[in-house]
A = this chain, B = another copy of it.
């Protein structure tokens, strides 16, 4: 009687495993029936830990799995557009990790293909929209608590990884603004009511990871964005924090301000000792947003089953890419970039 959605997960890296666990154990009406990865040990993990019966090395083989309703793409960004399009053509609902693509034309191709399949749901994982605190803020703004919002300040600060994973990843990450700030861009658009962007400017510097220079990338960047309606946003992204992962967003309105995420608290524990009074911070984005990843999956599954609608669109994802690309250009060319 309770209908369920048969899902296949594609990509079983660190984040992919988290999505898989959620789909297998915590998302009502989802059935994780298949997994796809080029790496055999990842498939073994899915089989042994989650009891996933059908494992595939090839994406096309997974798409051909009998009765499959939807795919969860947790794959390299460069593959997103093509994989989404193939899934749509195979009649599957699609969840795909952010960003949609680093290429604006690819974003538009995906939008076009999706338009041909209005019965299929496509969600790009802007996970922060599903966080209880961001949702609470959005609701308060909607209720008028802070009057007219006019300025967003949003920052994504990552704990320094001495191993420098993102340096090796730099060739394909799209740069700090597309990799990190794309979340903040999406938040700013969402919380300001999706005004049209007018002009962007950005600067950056390398503090620790000089290897990024080779890719014209930075480990700390800042950007300002003007919207057509007079509202503004300011962004900061960093790879070099000592204290943890901190996602902080301030929404300034004509009658008040909301701050989401100050302090980056890991738990509700405070320590008073020779270091003063302190608390530990979330070490990474997953410890900060683990509940949101779950709510995101639930919304997708329910929408695919016709029990609800998606709260964000492909056009939102395209717009985040468009603005992130302009930021990158502004930083590299030391000049503001205008939107048409």
Contact = CB atoms under 8 A, between A and B. Distances in A.
Interface string A108-137: 000000000000000000000000110011
Number of copies: 4
Contacts of A79: none
Given A28-B25, A336-B336, A224 B240 contact: no
A267 interface: yes
B1 A51 contact: yes
A203 B246 CA distance: 26
Interface of A: 1-2, 25-26, 28, 51, 132-133, 136-137, 140, 145-146, 148, 150-151, 153, 199, 201, 203-208, 220, 222, 224, 226, 230-232, 234, 236, 238, 240-244, 246, 252, 254-281, 334-336
A277 B283 CA distance: 12
Contact of A271 (B258, B261, B270, B274): B258
B256 A243 contact: yes
A255 B273 contact: yes
A336 to B, nearest CB: 7
Given A243-B273, A263-B268, A334-B336, 11 more contacts: A146-B273, A148-B207, A199-B203, A201-B336, A203-B224, A222-B224, A222-B234, A257-B272, A258-B269, A259-B272, A260-B270
Residue of A25, A136, A232, A242 with highest tally of chain B CB at under 10 A: A242
A271 B145 contact: yes
21 contacts: A25-B28, A26-B26, A133-B269, A137-B269, A151-B222, A203-B232, A206-B230, A220-B232, A242-B257, A243-B274, A243-B277, A244-B276, A246-B272, A257-B271, A258-B270, A258-B272, A262-B262, A262-B268, A263-B268, A278-B279, A336-B336
A207 B267 CA distance: 28
B267 A133 contact: yes
